[in-house]
Amino acid sequence: MIPSDDPDTRPGAPESSGPDRYSRQILFPKIGRDGQAKLARARIVLVGAGALGATSAELLVRSGVGTLRIIDRDVVETSNLGRQALYTTDDALVGRPKATALTRHLAAFNPEVRCDPRVADLSARNARELLDGFDLVVDALDNLEARYLINDWAIQAGVPWVYGACVGSRGLSAVVMPGATPCLRCLFPDPPPAGELQTCDTAGIIAPAATLVASLQVAEALKILVGASRDVRRTLLSVELWPFRWIELGGKDASPDPNCVACGQRKFEFLDSPQRGAVQVLCGRDSVQIVPSERSGVVNLEAVRARVRTLYSTKLMEEVLRIEAQGLRITLFRDGRALVGGTSDASVARSAYDRIVGS
């Protein structure tokens, strides 16, 4: 993990712009002065600084939250610029880490918010260190495994989190308030096997889908932060923009499943399993091994190949699928294990696996 830049030492940070900054938001009666004061004390952790995360960060920082920790493992690439708000061509050319690049841009329009960038890959090993002490988690991840980890941490800590995901023109969002609403494992008891879900790197994405989901997430986050929990949407919302349709699953009275492994039985399998989703750097081989979770099941190599073969060079040989993509050689096994050759950087390997194979 790269330590954060200290935002308090940023050169040229302007002084507070006075009471006008939040005046229109304060006029909105559901927020008002009391709500604004609560926002100013709020500590939020945003996990993921891609398309969802960059827009969520902008909305949260403009709204005047107190502290925003931004966790992301990737660097800005040119292919991000078509949809990921705030990033610039210069960020991509330099290859700046998204967490630190985003923090610099956020400081330019609201230096009153303390932004705390962490260039890190959220895992069972560092989850408590990175998440403890925050009032709310906003999920803007590109992989399911880490969402289950956030869910475990949030249920154990009793902290709400806002789920969001998007691919193509479609987005999903839900709010988990421990003890009051269904958690991720109430809705989806286990993550699907690796390679089952589409990713933005294989199915594409349009920018409005990401900004829509980010707006949905931040709207619910604001309700929680000002103490309006009764107004929080309790449904799992699925929106497709092209063609347009939307559906809400569950009802306004949806409640936690007493048999849920996480919130019912309070077994935190993702948080308490350091091996889950483990990444091992193989010495001297310029490659990284990714070990899947115990529950991830058998991978349908043929389906993964069908999805990526028009984009990348692939070769399927009985129990092994080889994919050459973005300068890396991914060897995927039916048990979900993968060797990522061409790098000894665990976060680069994990990121490529999540974006190309999908997990």
Output 113 or 177, the one with its CB closest to Zn ion: 177
| Dihedral of alpha carbons 51, 56, 57, 63, sign | positive
Output 188 or 333, the one with its CB closest to Zn ion: 188
Residue nearest to Zn ion (CB): 260
In contact, 178 and 159? CB cutoff 8 Å: yes
CB of 279 to Zn ion, least distance (A): 27
The answer to whether 118 contacts Zn ion (rule: CB under 5 A) is no
Dihedral pair phi/psi, residue 187, rounded to 5°? -80, -45
HSE, side-chain direction, 13 A CA sphere, residue 159: 22
In contact, 35 and 83? CB cutoff 8 Å: no
SS3 of residue 186 by DSSP: helix
Interface pattern 293-332 for Zn ion (x via CB under 5 A): ----------------------------------------
CB of 178 to Zn ion, least distance (A): 9
CB of 127 to Zn ion, least distance (A): 18
Output 122 or 184, the one with its CB closest to Zn ion: 184
CB of 151 to Zn ion, least distance (A): 8
Give the integer Cα–Cα distance in Å for 218 and 284.
44
Output 136 or 184, the one with its CB closest to Zn ion: 184
Q: What region, left, alpha or beta, does residue 102 occupy, with left being phi > 0 and alpha being psi -120 to 50 degrees?
A: alpha
- Binding residues for Zn ion restricted to 6-25, rule: CB under 5 A: none
CB of 295 to Zn ion, least distance (A): 15
Q: How big is the site for Zn ion, counted in residues (CB under 5 A)? A: 6
Question: What are the residue ranges of helices labelled H in the chain?
Answer: 23-27, 32-41, 51-63, 89-94, 98-109, 127-131, 144-157, 184-187, 200-203, 207-225, 301-308, 346-352
- Binding residues for Zn ion restricted to 132-191, rule: CB under 5 A: 183, 185-186
Interface pattern 248-267 for Zn ion (x via CB under 5 A): ------------x-xx----
Give the integer Cα–Cα distance in Å for 257 and 260.
5
CB of 257 to Zn ion, least distance (A): 5
Residues contributing to the site for Zn ion (CB under 5 A): 183, 185-186, 260, 262-263
